[in-house]
A and B are shown apart, each in its own frame.
Chain A
Amino acid sequence: MRVGIVCPYTWNVPGGVQQHVRDLAEALVGFGHHVSVITPADDDAQLPEYAVSAGRAVPVPYNGSVARLAFGFRSASRVRRWIHEGGFDVLHVHEPAAPSLGLLACWAADGPIVGTFHASYTKSRVVSVTAPILQSGLEKITGRIAVSEAARKTLVEHLGGDAVLIPNGVATERYAMADPLPGWPGRDATAGTGPHLATAPHLGTGSLPGPGPHLGTGPGEGGGVLGFLGRMDEPRKGLQVLLRAFEILARRRPGLRLLLAGPGDADDVVARVSPELRDRVAVLGMVSEADKIRAYHSVDVFVAPNLGGESFGIVLAEAMSAGAPILASDIEAFDRVLLGGRAGVLFPVGDAEALAASAAELLDDPARRKQLSAEARAAVRRYDWSAVARDVLRVYETVTLPGTTVVESGRGA
């Protein structure tokens, strides 16, 4: 199948939609389909061979924030030419309600068009003056996909119509292998052998406790590393529960360390830990994608203490892909992803003492950790991009009729 995918946001700028498009395109290519992605990109950006640049995106205020969008005559004509030359069986437009390439593609094409809606917002943004502009593009979409229940709700409430739900996938392979961060022993290093010290610290946070006296103490010797990743200032992510558990555990296990990553004020988090334990807490703050993967490989137990509000838990799925033994609160979403406790240990939500007890048990039992790691890797495969891409392909097959292709639309809307 020849698939044309339209990405509305600049390719080389990190973002959820861009990541989604990249993973989907690569999964489809993996299935042997012909894929072409058109995307805004900076002039010097390195694009993969399946991607075509539509020129630079321009920062512009839109709906109360500044977004980088591609619009204007030039972008429009490039999209039109790409559609004309592509000969696609199906056109897959991402975020078609944003004033960028997605909307331009809807405008410029006729034929089977699939639209994926990513954004969710509560404030109404479609008003009488913009509705006709949007409708003329959106009404050409034959099949609509929403990536989350929230995105679907937004679509229903603000634009009308409905969509099928196909959640984001996890590129499990990308997480499978990585070296632990410098100064951290990592799961696979056996106690006592030299950990990865050669690399200079490149994290730039300065808050990494250097390879101090605790280094080299494996989990079995009262050491070990607990990890957390997520918004540190968002109570629902449950960091406070983990910090309480760490206070309990760290006094009994002199080598135990805590590795925290995610957006939020690092000083604020450190201030919440007892002074004598602070040198055993490393707060990385925002980390790059590569360092995030390495962080998953640096911990002995990955803790997901979320209090609720998760529909799926992308972070949990990533940690599972990295083979980290999981200790998670027993909220419904996690219970489902962890197969009721088979692919990870569950503790009662919000219960710091139970968290501490389970963590201690896990840290003392390398065989159990190994088994959980394997179970997690197996369980997360259901959420792999290949599975998601298969669902998306089913949508393509539903909207395409034999003999029809995407053609350039007659001028105008």
Chain B
Amino acid sequence: MLPDWIYDLLFVAAVVFLVGVYVSWRATRLDRLHVRVETARAALDAALVRRAAVTLELAASRLLDPATSLVLATAAHEARTADAESREFAESDLSRALRAVVDQPDFAATLAAKPDGQAVLEELTSASAKVVYARSFYNDAVASARTARRKLLIRVLPLAGRAAWPGFFEIDDDPPRP
């Protein structure tokens, strides 16, 4: 028979081991959430850049009148060059400019009647829709990560490491409806 303290020691060791496994599992989950946020962010950035590029392409295409081109080019340029602080405002402005242009009566029909017009319009519609999706996925990832990081264990133990507190991306991304 082994002495009692051995059992006690084994028990404590087992508990420590299980706790370790649990904490590590939680850390892995959190890390996975952070990776998801980062991936979603990259996708969102790509979608926004794509939308601005298509807008600029349309503005420069000579399919439009110069006033419309100027409105679109200015909005797209602002969105592309905005710093982190004004990014959301600039992207919202681009959404509003696109709606103001595309939602005009007869706009879609007139543009579609021009050579390449239909293609550009479809590209623009698709790029605008993708911004909506990408932003929704990103904010969803942020919400999950935030919930996870609010948990007691994560706050007590520095499991999040140096990962920044993820922020939502709030813009008006209502797409134009040609």
- A: residues with CB less than 8 A from B are 58-64, 66, 69-76, 99-101, 103-104, 106-107, 125, 127, 129-130, 132-134, 136-137, 412-413
Contacts and interface: CB of A to CB of B under 8 A. Distances in A.
Interface of B: 56, 59-60, 62, 64-71, 73-78, 92-93, 96-97, 100-101, 104-107, 110-111
Given A73-B65, A413-B66, A58 B77 contact: no
A96 to B, nearest CB: 10
Given A74-B106, A412-B62, A129 B67 contact: no
A99 B71 contact: yes
A73 B66 contact: no
B77 A71 contact: no
19 contacts: A59-B100, A62-B74, A63-B74, A66-B96, A72-B68, A72-B101, A73-B104, A74-B104, A75-B65, A103-B66, A103-B70, A107-B66, A125-B74, A129-B59, A129-B77, A130-B70, A133-B59, A134-B70, A412-B62
Given A129-B59, A413-B62, A61 B75 contact: yes
Contact of B67 (A61, A64, A69, A412): A69
B25 to A, nearest CB: 48
Nearest to A60: B100
Given A71-B70, A74-B105, 4 more contacts: A61-B75, A61-B93, A75-B65, A104-B65
Given A59-B100, A104-B66, A133-B70, A73 B56 contact: no
Contacts of A70: 67
Given A74-B106, A130-B73, A58 B100 contact: yes
B100 A75 contact: no
Report the 7 A-B pairs with minimum CB-CB distance, sorted nearest first. Answer: A71-B67, A99-B70, A61-B93, A76-B65, A60-B100, A99-B67, A73-B110
A62 to B, nearest CB: 6
Contacts of A76: 65, 67
Nearest to B69: A133
A103 B73 contact: no
Given A61-B96, A129-B59, A412-B62, A73 B106 contact: yes
